[in-house]
Every structure is written in C-alpha cells, then in structure tokens.
Chain A
Amino acid sequence: MKTIEIVDVKYAYDKKKPVLRGITAGMEAGKLYAILGPSGCGKTTLLSLIGGLDEPTDGKILFGGKDIAEMGLDAHRKQNVAFVFQSYNLIDYMTPIENVRLTAKTDPVSVLSQLGIQPDEMKRNVLWLSGGQQQRVAIARALASDAAAILADEPTGNLDEDTATEITEILKESAHKQNKCVVVVTHSAVMAQEADVVYELKKGSLGVVEYTEQLKNRRKIK
C-alpha cells in the first residue's frame, strides 16, 4: 500500500489561475522523493496539502489508504507527518532536547546523538547553534515523532554545501534505514540526484523525471 496517495488534486488561490491542475501520484515508505520545479510553481503548496496544512480545492489525499480530510488535518499532522523547513523552525526559547521532546515518541537524546548533536549542545538554547546544527535538531524532531512521512521544504536551502550533503544523507538514511516516506521539495541537484524518485512540477502538473543521471551533472535546477 502506498503511504501517500494524491488523487486528482487541484488547488487554486484564484479560480482563473489554478496552481495545481489535477495531480495524481503515490509515495511509498522507504523511499526518498524529490519534487523539483521552478519557483512559484506550487511545490510548497503541494507539500502543504500532503501535510494537512491546507485543503485541496478539489481531489483528495489519502494517507495509509484513509482520506486525511476525514481523519482531521490536526490529527494527520500530529500522527502521520513531520515537517522539516528551510528556516529550521525551531522553538527559539527551548533547547534542542525540549524541541525534540515536543513530538518525541522516543528518547530525544539518542536521536540527537545519532544526528551528531553533542551533549553540551543539547542543553543550549537552539539559537546558539549553527544553521547546520539547527537543521539537524529539526530533523531529529521529525524523526523522533515516529511519523511515517517526513515532508521537507528546501531543507538544505540555507546551508553550505558540505552541511547540505550531510543533511541529504540523513534524510536518505531516514527513508532507507528507518523506512520513512521522505518527500523533499528542493532546488538542490545534490538532493535530487540522491532521491529514489524525482518529480517535476510544471504548469500545475506533476511528472516523473526519468533522467536522473543527467541531474548529476547539473549543480542546480532552475
């Protein structure tokens, strides 16, 4: 069974200018999915619909075979999905441990340790950490939640190349070793070339990109 099923989803801020024109796709556990596309094409909107942050104008999204609208979007966000954002989005008056504990079903310390956060860093205010460390904490929060799907919006957008590679690797491992369904909206070629499936969103339609090998030669997809 597909973890996420997108069934003929349409979305429009303005009826005359639809952003998504009937998208259908399926995403499985244990795979890293990358969604590419030009700025403003609706990638983040699609991710928001999958994550239950917004509702489609038409169509439906199934999670584990159940319609998330019927399930309740609050419950869907709490139980099924975990977000990782470009700007980390950590609670700025808490430590890494406290941030992870917000969603944790498992021990926050071990998850943070696995992601390379040192014990003394775990007890500092998150704002005292570097960007890369903050993103690791954000990913730790997603992993500790035990959600079946991790939805990441430009998770390496604010990071230097080396750190971006490390974060990409962590997300890839989350999919392959922890059997998560990881969906990443990205402009990063590095991220795209590590993905198991690459979608491209263009003019409101989603298509699978077959030429993954070619992507390896591109630094960035515009």
Chain B
Amino acid sequence: MLKRAFFYVTRKRGKTLILFMVLLVISTFVLTGISVLQAANTSALSLRQSLGGSIKLELDETRSENWSYQQGVGGASVEYVGTPITDTDVAKVMEVDGITGYNAVGDGSVYAMDFDFMAGFSLGEAYTSSRLPSTTFSERFNYFARGAFELVEGRHIIAGDSHAALISTALAEYNNLTVGDTLIVQNAADYGHPENYSPVTLTIIGIYEFTGEETPYATTSVLKSNRIVIDHTAMKDISGKSAIEYESGVDFYVDDPKDIDGIVADIKKLDLDWDCFKLSIDNSAYLAVASSLEAMQSLVKTLVIIISIISTAILAIILTMWTRSRVHETGIYLAIGKSKAVILAQHLIEVLLIAVIAFTLSYFTSGFVAQGASNLLFNQIAASTEPVTTEEMPDDGSELLDITGQYLSYDTSEVVSAENIVVEITSNSLIAVYLLGTIITILSVAIASISTLHMKPKEILTKMS
C-alpha cells in the first residue's frame, strides 16, 4: 500500500505538484497564524507580567467614625482613630495566591541637618524642609516603577533595610555625597519645634537620576530632586513611633493583572478590619497597552479557525475532483479484491506523503511572511483601537505634592509596538501544524472519498465503462 502510494505520488507529478502547492500555501497560512497567535500570547503575558498590576490596601477615609475631630487653639485637628494597617495585615494578604510582592509607602517631612536641600521657589523665607517617602521595596516605588527615577549607582531598598537612603544625583552633587556616606535628618512635622524629635542618621545605599522635569515654581519640599527615599525603620525613628503604621496604604503586586479581580475577591475573604480598610485596583498600565494585543489575539484566533475551515473545504474540493478522476483505478482495485478501507488508506498516505514535505517547507516560508503579517495586523488593529487613558490626573493640584508617585503616567510608547512582537516559528508551532494539517488532511480525504466509496464495486465499474 505504501509502495503504491509512493508510485502514485512520484509518477503523477503534475497532480502531486498542484496538491503540494495547495498544501504549502495552507500550511504556511496556518503556521503563520499559529506563530503570530503565540507571539501575541507571549507578548501579552510578558507585558502583563512586566507592567503587572497592583491592589492597594488602604484606610477607608470615607468613614467618619474612623476619624476624630478636635478643635484646638489655632484650628481643628483631625486624627485617624481606626485600625492601622500593620505588618500583621500585610502578612495575611501575602498568603493569597497570585500575589508576588508588596510595597508600602510612608510619608514624612524632614530638615537637613548636616547637608542642604536644593532651594526651591519661594516668595519669602524659603522652607528648609522636604517631604520624603519610605518604602519597603524601592524598586516597586511608583517613581522607579514608572521610570521617573532611575537608579544609577548602588542598590535599591529592600524589606529589612534599616536607615538606608536613596538620593538624587542632583542632591549628591549639590552636597558632594556618594554611596556609603551618611546624612542626618530631623522630623519637620512639628513645624518650628524640631527639638521634639531626635536627629536620625541615614546611610546612602543608592543614587538615582530624576529623568523628568521639575514642576515650575516647585518649592524646596516639592522638588523631586530633594526626595530622599528611605526604609520604614528609618521613618519610624524619624516620626518617633513605636510601630510602623502604613498610613498611605500598602500596594500588593500580582503576577498577572488578568487575574486581579479574582485575587481581590480572595483578599476580601481574609480576616481584616473591613470597617477601616478598603481595596482599590491599579491595572491601568496593562489596560493602556493591552487592548491592541487582546484585539490581535482575538483576530488571529478567529483567522486561524477560518483558515482551517476554508483549507479543509478547498482541500476537500480538490481531493474530491482528484478522487473522481480515480474512479477507474478504484474500480480496478476493488475488482482485484482490495477493500475500500485499503484504498482509502492509500489515498490518505499519498496526501500525507506530500503534506509532510509541504508542512516542513512551510517552516521556512512562514519564516519569511510571519513577521510581516504580524506587523501588518498589529498596526491595523492599533490604528483602529481607542487609546486608553493611562492615568486620570487629579484636578486639585495634589499631583504637585504627591510623594507616592501614583499620579505619574506610564510611558507606554516603547512598551508595545508591532516591532516588539517578535514572531518566531517554534518547533511547537510546527508540531501544531503537523497535527492540525493531519486532521485537515484526514477530514478532506474522508469527505472526498465518501461519494466513491459509498458505491458498490459494480456501480464504480459501470461508471468506468
């Protein structure tokens, strides 16, 4: 049977060539589709993982019962009296599946004791203090995560660091400081009475560069170059508190922002004080760039299905014509006692012999067209997809004072573009083509053979005569 199939394929060269070309075109389309789909999937996954998403556990400021208002001399003071977010709460949330890390940002204000902040805009006597953030993992801190700060020397702050500080290149140059040097700061919260707090010594473990532009008329306190990023232990000492309370909330990072809603649901099941806490989601970075990719994934998936169906139909039509032209041969085989199953198997082997060569060659032909097809598809989709606003800027001017960096926009221009989706023809894609192609071939041969093999041998022989 194998020998007969081989004879047919090698001796009916015209038909073999036509079928080979058809199968090559089909397999090239299918392999290109699968490869582009895989590339889009891989890009989407790595994009989701690189941009990530975060869930913020924060104090619910909307509940008045969590706040105490006291009227004193010189004005009213407001104090949070609800349950604070502590390391115990952080540990509980970290147990939830899908959470890869966390970062908390504290807020304080200090005077420079043995160095100078760069002077900002001032109409009168300049403030000599500056606000400073404390972080658990400085690499996750919004300013670094969104590219406004870039570490150029030393290392980032990690959990467990004590009295570590990151300063800007500008501040380092201004004070002739380098990694390993120390700084002394003192709490400026109780304005005018710094003596209520002890000076705290910080060690510079890293220097960052501020890549943005300073806000016009920024005061000393607002200047980004004056930001000293410190750890929570240092902040605890600066503020004179006995335990770290994460007043600005804690960001929990998820591996895949696609799963973020499920993770939020899991966190809400935890035994936390939900009368005082609330959760908010930030997957804006992913949403900003994902829409084009998701549209592409969906389109390519549909294309692969349509190509497969059309391929089966075209192949079935060609093979039906081919099989009909072989009624004579089929009749002869039946007359000499070959069963219909054996004849069908021979036809199948013939097509598969040609198909194997076509599928293998499609590895190279797809290599030529896949990247171009991917670029074309992505560009067209990107052009027709509505851009997503990356961040809604507050209209109360608070972005000028924001030290968490949460109002910084993501620069997504370099993150995803057609060129960033590198289409590779992998062995897995080729295996998928072999499998899908074999299924298409078997279906096509079966469909093509139904009419002939349904007939009795005598009917076939009558057709012959």
A residues neighboring B (CB under 8 Å): 45, 48, 51-54, 73-79, 82-83, 85-87, 89-94, 98, 102-103, 125, 141, 145
10 pairs of A and B residues whose beta carbons are closest in the complex: A78-B337, A54-B458, A77-B337, A93-B11, A53-B458, A53-B457, A83-B335, A48-B458, A89-B332, A74-B339
Asked if B7 and A98 make an inter-chain contact with CB atoms under 8 angstroms apart, the answer reads: yes
Q: Would you give the shortest CB distance from B1 to chain A, in whole angstroms?
A: 11
Asked if B458 and A94 make an inter-chain contact with CB atoms under 8 angstroms apart, the answer reads: no
Given contacts A48-B461, A54-B458, contact A93 B12 (CB under 8 A): yes
Verify if B265 is at the interface (C-beta below 8 Å from A). no
Complex Cα gap A87–B465 (Å):
8
Verify if B144 is at the interface (C-beta below 8 Å from A). no
Asked if B336 and A141 make an inter-chain contact with CB atoms under 8 angstroms apart, the answer reads: yes
Contact partners of B456 in chain A: CB under 8 A: 53-54
Q: Which of B309-361 contact A (CB under 8 A)?
A: 328-329, 331-339
Complex Cα gap A77–B458 (Å):
12
Q: Would you give the shortest CB distance from A139 to chain B, in whole angstroms?
A: 13
Asked if A82 and B336 make an inter-chain contact with CB atoms under 8 angstroms apart, the answer reads: yes
Complex Cα gap A5–B456 (Å):
23
Asked if A89 and B331 make an inter-chain contact with CB atoms under 8 angstroms apart, the answer reads: yes
Q: List 30 A-B contacts (CB under 8 A).
A: A45-B458, A53-B457, A53-B461, A54-B457, A54-B458, A75-B337, A76-B337, A77-B336, A77-B457, A78-B337, A78-B338, A79-B337, A83-B335, A83-B336, A85-B335, A86-B465, A87-B464, A87-B465, A89-B332, A91-B329, A93-B11, A93-B12, A94-B4, A94-B11, A98-B7, A102-B336, A103-B336, A103-B337, A125-B11, A145-B336
Contact partners of A98 in chain B: CB under 8 A: 7
Complex Cα gap A86–B335 (Å):
14
B residues neighboring A (CB under 8 Å): 4, 7-8, 11-12, 328-329, 331-339, 456-458, 461, 464-465
Given contacts A48-B458, A53-B461, contact A91 B332 (CB under 8 A): yes
Sample of 20 further A-B pairs with CB below 8 A, known A54-B456, A73-B457? A45-B458, A48-B458, A48-B461, A52-B457, A53-B334, A53-B456, A53-B458, A53-B461, A74-B337, A75-B337, A76-B337, A83-B336, A87-B464, A89-B328, A90-B332, A92-B329, A93-B12, A103-B336, A125-B11, A141-B336
Residue of A nearest to B9 (CB): A93
Contact partners of B338 in chain A: CB under 8 A: 78
Q: Would you give the shortest CB distance from A52 to chain B, in whole angstroms?
A: 8
Contact partners of B333 in chain A: CB under 8 A: 91
Contact partners of A82 in chain B: CB under 8 A: 336
Q: Would you give the shortest CB distance from A44 to chain B, in whole angstroms?
A: 8
Complex Cα gap A85–B462 (Å):
12
Asked if B8 and A93 make an inter-chain contact with CB atoms under 8 angstroms apart, the answer reads: yes
Residue of A nearest to B8 (CB): A93
Complex Cα gap A20–B15 (Å):
42
